[in-house]
Amino acid sequence: MDQPQYSRRIKDWPEDERPRERLQQHGENSLSDAQLLAIVLRTGDHASGATAIDLARRILTTFHEDLEAVCSASISELLQVQGIGPAKACEIKAAFELGRRRLARQGGGLVQFRSSRDVAQ
């Protein structure tokens, strides 16, 4: 009996399931963390047949589904994830750094609520 092929190329997936197309059609809020990370990764791992989604899930699993832990991970820690090489580790670090810089330019992004008026605003 043939095994189902779970790691087929994302290009072969139905268009509405592909991360990039889904982002274009429905916006970034419609994507999971794994799908967003897969877009950053761009490609899978040819050696293992893993798709970019597979790699993204592997990363998230390694770091206990904690994006802050992924963000804080060093390049050498990211390299410990099977299928992640120096280029992909650098892409991940660069994407998180861009997000960090944007947040810093917004004043840290932390909002303090001191009254019900603050919440309403």
From CA 53, how far away is CA 9, in angstroms rounded? 10
The pTM of the full predicted model, rounded to 2 decimals, is: 0.77
From CA 110, how far away is CA 46, in angstroms rounded? 41
Let me know how many helices (H) and strands (E) the chain has, helices first: 7, 0
First to last CA, the chain: 61
Distant-in-sequence, close-in-space partners of 18: CB < 8 Å, separation ≥ 6: 10, 11
Among residues 96, 93, 33, the alpha carbon closest in space to that of 66 is found at 33
Predicted confidence at residue 72, as pLDDT, reads 96
Predicted confidence at residue 109, as pLDDT, reads 56
From CA 54, how far away is CA 2, in angstroms rounded? 21
- pLDDT (tens, 9 = 90+) of the chain, 121 residues, equals 443 344 477 777 777 778 888 888 999 999 999 999 999 999 999 888 899 999 999 999 999 999 999 999 999 999 999 999 999 999 999 999 999 999 888 876 566 666 666 555 5
Predicted confidence at residue 119, as pLDDT, reads 59
From CA 75, how far away is CA 90, in angstroms rounded? 7
